[in-house]
A and B are shown apart, each in its own frame.
Chain A
Amino acid sequence: MDVQKARERLFAKDETFGYIDRERAIDEFLAKGNVPENQGERYVAALEYMMTQLSPLIIGDDLILGRMAEGPLPYELEYVPGNGFSHVGNPFPPTGGRDGGHMNLNYASLLENGLGGIAAKMEANAKTDTQKKYASLARRAAEAVRGYAARYADEAEKTGRDRAAKALRQVPYGPAYDMFSAVQSIWLVQMILSCATGGRDFAFSRLDVVLMPFYKKEEEDDILEILTALCLKCNEIGGLSSDLSDRMPIPCTSTNNYLMLGGKGAEHALPMSLLFLKAAHAVHLPQPIPAMRMSKDSPMEWKLACAKASQELDGQVAYYNDDVLIPNLIELGYPEEYALNYTMSGCNRVDYPGHRSADGYHNTVGLFLRTYHQEDVHDLDSLIEAFKVNMKWEAETFEGCQLFDPEEDMHFFLESMLLRGCVENVCDLENGGQDMQTVVHNLTGMATIGNSLAAIEKAVYIDKLLTFDELRDLVKNNFEGNPELHQLIRNRYPKYGNDIERVDRWTSIAANIMVDAVRQMNDGRYDRLHIPSLYSLFFHHELGEMIGATPDGRLAGEAISESQSPTYGTDKEGITALLQSVSQLPHNKIGCGGLNVRIEKKLPDEMVVALVDTYFALGGMNMCLTVLNRDTLLAAMEHPEEYQTLCVRIVGYSEVFVRLPDYMKQELLDRTAVAV
């Protein structure tokens, strides 16, 4: 397989390219008329039509088959902010009513039963008329995909690909019988879901474990090639299409393919975990996005491979701490088996294989500010008490809880055939078919709140510079009228992230209040499991824009702090101090949450292992590690205020990058370019 050629093809794509076959097929389907009213029936009818229309395209030395025909679209798709490119009369509305995809598919079941076998199970489980109707839709969907696979098999035969032809006559309709057919089965389904039916960001879940039954040591070279082909495929489905895709740079990340590797319960699958990372290195592209599970007992070979991956692969490579997360999830209410097999649906939403969790983002800093300006709040204690009360209300009235509407008409989504509960209950995920309903509450801006509480304490109670009310008025007026005090609070007051006990304690208090407000909901009052997460994705900008100044010196409209990270530019003591601070957060109470750590240069892998191991031993739950690159330095030159902490570390020398004159910055930039 010529990886280089495949990469070149990828980079040659134009970002206006879309899935031409697919859009044409949808147009034709709608034009034919007789489009069923009911979502489920409409979906299956459209799928059936599409499966006869998409070209079974094979290019170059494709090993695993399944790619979408891409080209300039014949018309402009209408862009709907927040909803991507929508297609008038679209028969594939997004699942979940919010964003499609973002779920872990039960590929173990696909390989064992095939779509045909799964449909048969549904037929057997169906008792009521509605269930029987639903099972018949599943059967039709399985047959439709089977037809598409058969068309690919014909094409494979014509081009002399006997192995692929044989596999595609069997999978994904039937069970897989070897490594090739297994990967082929998974890919065809992943591609149809990601490209044809309109969802995006599907997680492969623990593919190392899932594929391990097909592993044979003597076939390692062949397996590596198959996995490399799969990794390439994940980057080839970046075209523009209607529904939920967004216009993204090439190579495209408009749909992510998350891959969870290693950890407890995957010990026996270590050879596959390692081969996956090898394949990811071989393609060296943004997809798939590996997440690595780690525990203190993980073999050193695995830890070192992860360190290498996190330093060398593009994009964010995340680590998760099994020793913290598994007990957390059990305590939150996950069955033990699910906790052991936890995965992430998307960049940071805890889940398990064969499940989709709902999630949403709380405007917690906004709530904190409303509380701060409340009339009955007149000192630090009453502020804390009122924030606890308000936070509970916020969690319990959270709109993100709305998963599905059981009153609605029957839905059908192909995804449901690969979700736990939907098969047994013969009921779509959109009608509540899943075996467990979970909601991830993303709690944002924790450092902004913690720093604010610490600033109030220092200004009002420790340094006694002004009263609680005077400070509050100043904050309300965006610090106008006292620039000196503003600068002091903003730039000189200690901030979370520097291993300073007093501030870290306040941040931990803030985080605990938010997290506890969500946890107390799991007391039997609700039929859903509520999972707290300290995470903001990129909403810290958007949320910040909506709110006024905060007591930590942040001005109205400025971004709030991101995920578990300190306010940008305020962690000045280096990574070890940062990790000490972050480890003070209530990691033992949350289900997910993110910390982005950037190291200034590539380190020996052993050192990265030590860093991650130590942070996890201190109680940390998750960490995304990136190595500083040219882009970071360029960004630092453009937004120096956000990069006050970027340190140049050269033998015996240390200086903050932004303090250097431009020509020296340029020199470092050039050096970094050479090093990459």
Chain B
Amino acid sequence: MTGKIVRIQRFSTTNGPGLRSTVFVKGCPLTCHWCHNPEMQESKKQLMVYPEQCKACGFCVKTCENGGHSFVDGKHIVDRTNCVLCGKCEQMCPHSAIELAGQDVEASEVLERLLRDRPFYDSSKGGITISGGEPLAQFNFTKELLQLCKAEGLHTCLDTSGWGGRAAELVEWVDLYLWDFKESDPERHKYYTGVELEPILDSLQKMNDAGGKCLLRCPIIPGVNDRDEHLSAIAELANRMPCIQVIDLVPYHRLGVAKADAIGMHQDEFSSLTQEEKDHFLSVVTAKTNTQARWI
């Protein structure tokens, strides 16, 4: 089964327990305004150009037969209109300023690459994580990869928004879900993520009933969901769902903006939380639940 991924990050230390490798898949049906991996939203390949890295050597201009790159007043202009995503400019750029995001790979091939670091997973009680993008948007590929990993005895994490209603079907092969919970108000959820909240809660319930385990990962975005009611709702959710082992509050960072620029899109910037605000929100959660909660 072929899937579309952006990269495999080895020595991954923030996506589940121990030392891991994380597969970032491409494509996500959600359109969160603060998305930190905007190049993983679209399911098709994309040309990324990082102005910060470009040293204006002109190799890409010479290489591209479709007028993809030019310089106007010393500024690198990327014209994607006729780009056929051939990757020649990426190959020719000496400064890694160009990246073609998205490669088609067989699940078995991904497994082979993941197994390279098996000794490190074993010694650290780590394993592999499938993240993205939304892995459930490539359900069959994700399922096959998880099954292959489990057959090898690897610990598996699935980083998902819960979209698509089928998360529970994978319980058998997922040791730990990293469940991204964005917003507890249905209207705001729809507005900021582009999808309905209800099916996601259903999906969580099903996963819970099927005996799955998860870390609830809640990005706290100033001006979007930094409200006491939202934090209280998170706590209540944890009280209702024994599958939630830990509540991870994830502070907003604006690093996604640079990657949005690189694919020629715009992303809004939000402000950052102060330490006092962080302390406050954590206390709102801990006041309402015994489930462990922390900022990560």
Give Cα A611–Cα B119 distance, bound, in whole angstroms. Answer: 9
Known: A651-B14, A653-B253. A658 touches B52 (CB 8 A): yes
B residues less than 8 Å from A618 (CB atoms): 119
A573 at the interface (CB under 8 A from B): yes
- Asked whether, in the complex, the Cβ of B10 is within 8 Å of the Cβ of A574, the reply is yes
| Residue numbers in B under 8 Å from A613 (CB-CB) | 123
Q: Does B18 contact A (CB under 8 A)?
A: yes
Other-chain residue from A575, A606, A617, A655 in contact with B11 (beta carbon distance below 8 A) = A575
A197-B248 Cα distance, complex, nearest whole Å: 59
CB-CB < 8 A to B57: which residues of A? 487
> Which among A491, A577, A647, A651 is the interface contact of B94 at CB below 8 angstroms?
A491
Q: Which residues of A contact B18 (CB under 8 A)?
A: 607, 610
A659/B256 contact (C-beta < 8 A), A574-B11, A607-B124, A654-B9 known: no
Q: Mark A473-489, 1 if CB is under 8 A from B, else 0.
A: 00000000001100110
Instruction: List the B side residues contacting A492 at CB < 8 Å.
Output: 91
- Between B12, B22, B24, B94, the greatest number of chain A beta carbons within 10 A of the residue's beta carbon is seen for B94
Residues of B within 8 A of A298 (CB): none
Decide if A652 touches B124 in the complex (CB within 8 Å).
Answer: no
Q: Does A661 contact B (CB under 8 A)?
A: yes
Task: Select the residue from A492, A603, A655 with max chain B CB neighbours within 10 A.
Answer: A655
Contact between A652 and B14 (Cβ–Cβ < 8 Å)? Answer: yes
B90-103 contact mask (Cβ, 8 Å, vs A): 1 or 0: 01111111000000
Bound: A641/B55 CA distance, A = 11
Q: Is A649 in contact with chain B by the CB < 8 A criterion?
A: yes
Q: 1/0 per position for B253-266, CB-CB distance to A under 8 A?
A: 11111110110000
B151 at the interface (CB under 8 A from A): no
Interface string of B18-29 (1 = CB under 8 A from A): 110110100000
A649 touches B24 (CB 8 A): no
- For A649, the chain B residues whose CB sits under 8 A away are 9, 12-14
Please name all residues of chain B whose beta carbon is closer than 8 Å to the beta carbon of A38 when the two chains form the complex. none
A484 pairs with B50, CB closer than 8 A: no
Q: Given the complex, which residues of A lie within 8 Å of B92, measured CB to CB?
A: 484, 487-488
Cβ-defined contact, B96 with A644, below 8 A: yes
B71 within 8 A of A: no
Q: B131 at the A/B interface (Cβ < 8 Å)?
A: yes
The answer, yes or no, to whether A462 is at the interface (CB within 8 Å) is no
Identity of the chain B residue whose Cβ is nearest the Cβ of A580 in the assembled complex: B116
Decide: B10 and A573 in contact? CB cutoff 8 A: yes
**Chain A residues within 8 Å of B124, by CB:** 606-607, 610-611, 614
Q: Collect the chain B residues with CB atoms within 8 Å of residue A611's CB.
A: 19, 120, 124
Q: A576-B117, A610-B19, A664-B254 are in contact. Are A652 and B37 (CB under 8 A)?
A: yes
Tell me if B159 counts as interface (CB < 8 A to partner A): yes
Q: Could you tell me the distance between the alpha carbons of A661 and B120 in the complex, rounded to whole angstroms?
A: 33
- The answer, yes or no, to whether A635 is at the interface (CB within 8 Å) is no
Whole-angstrom distance between the Cβ of A178 and the nearest chain B Cβ: 42
Q: Could you tell me how many residues of chain B have their Cβ less than 8 Å away from some Cβ of chain A?
A: 54
Q: Please judge, given known A-B contacts A610-B18, A610-B124, whether A655 and B159 are in contact too, CB under 8 Å.
A: no
Q: In angstroms, how far is the closest chain B Cβ from the Cβ of A128?
A: 58
Enumerate chain A residues within 8 angstroms of B10, measured Cβ to Cβ.
573-577
Q: How far is the CA of A644 from the CA of B250 in the complex (A)?
A: 27
Given contacts A577-B116, A610-B19, A611-B124, is CB(A651)–CB(B250) below 8 Å?
yes
* Residue with the highest number of chain B CB atoms closer than 10 Å, among A490, A614, A651, A662: A651
The contact of A617 among B97, B117, B119, by CB within 8 Å, is: B119
Which residues 19-48 of A sit at the B interface, judged by CB distance below 8 A?
A: none
Interface of chain A, main secondary structure: helix
Tell me, yes or no, whether B15 is within 8 Å of chain A by CB.
yes
Whether A607 lies near B36 (C-beta < 8 A) is no
Inter-chain CA distance A328–B26, complex, in Å, is 48
A contact residues around B239 at 8 Å (CB) = none
Query: A655 to B255, Cβ gap below 8 A?
Result: yes
Considering residues A488, A610, A613, which has the most beta carbons from chain B within 10 angstroms of its beta carbon? A610
* Contact present for A607 and B254 (CB under 8 Å): no
Q: How far is the CA of A647 from the CA of B125 in the complex (A)?
A: 23
Query: Is A562 interfacial (CB 8 A cutoff)?
Result: no
B217 at interface, CB cutoff 8 A = yes
Q: A676 in the interface, Cβ–Cβ < 8 Å?
A: no
Whether B53 is near chain A, meaning CB under 8 Å from some CB there, is yes
Evaluate contact between B52 and A661: CB separation under 8 angstroms. yes
Q: Is A660 an interface residue (CB 8 A)?
A: yes
User: Are A652 and B52 interface neighbours, CB within 8 A?
Assistant: no
Q: Which of A577, A653, A662 contacts B255 (CB 8 A)?
A: A653
Q: How far is B131's CA from A231's CA once the two chains are assembled, in angstroms?
A: 47
Residue of A nearest to B51 (CB): A661
Query: Is A675 an interface position by the 8 A CB rule?
Result: no
Determine the distance from Cα of A652 to Cα of B253 in the docked complex, in whole angstroms: 11
In the bound complex, what is the Cα–Cα distance between A661 and B250 (angstroms)?
A: 22
**Which one, B14, B59, B91, B122, contacts A650 given CB within 8 A?**
B14
Closest-CB distance, A326 to chain B (whole angstroms): 22
**Given that A487-B59, A664-B258 are contacting pairs, would A651 and B15 also be in contact in the complex, using a CB cutoff of 8 Å?**
yes
Interface residues in A637-672 by Cβ distance below 8 A to B read 640-641, 644, 647-656, 658-662, 664, 667
Measured between alpha carbons, how far is A618 from B122 in the docked complex, in Å? 13
Q: Which of A653, A656, A658, A661 contacts B256 (CB 8 A)?
A: A653
B287 close to chain A: CB less than 8 A: no
Cα-based distance from A650 to B11 in the complex (angstroms): 12
Which B residue's beta carbon lies closest to that of A612?
Answer: B123
- The answer to whether A499 has its CB under 8 Å from any CB of chain B is yes
Per-residue 0/1 for B204-243: is the Cβ within 8 Å of any A Cβ (1 yes, 0 no)? 0000000000000100000000000000000000000000
* Chain A CB within 8 A of B296 CB: yes
Min CB–CB distance B75 → chain A (angstroms): 15
Are the CB atoms of B36 and A652 closer together than 8 Å?
yes
Given the complex of chains A and B, what is the CA–CA distance between A499 and B24 in angstroms? 20
User: A607-B13, A661-B52 in contact; A653/B37 too (CB < 8 A)?
Assistant: yes
Chain A residues positioned under 8 Å from B52 (CB to CB): 658-662
B255 touches A610 (CB 8 A): no
Q: Is the CB of B19 within 8 A of A650?
A: no
Q: Using a CB–CB distance below 8 Å, which chain A residues touch chain B?
A: 483-484, 487-488, 490-492, 499, 573-577, 580, 601, 603, 606-607, 610-611, 613-614, 617-618, 640-641, 644, 647-656, 658-662, 664, 667
A/B interface sample: 15 pairs, CB < 8 A: A483-B59, A487-B57, A488-B91, A491-B94, A575-B11, A580-B117, A603-B13, A617-B119, A652-B36, A652-B159, A652-B180, A653-B253, A653-B256, A661-B51, A661-B258
List 7 tightest A-B contacts by C-beta distance, closest first. A610-B124, A574-B11, A574-B10, A487-B94, A610-B123, A653-B36, A659-B50
Given known contacts A607-B18, A653-B255, what 12 new A-B pairs fall within 8 Å (CB)? A487-B59, A491-B93, A491-B96, A607-B124, A618-B119, A640-B53, A649-B12, A656-B96, A658-B52, A659-B53, A661-B52, A664-B254
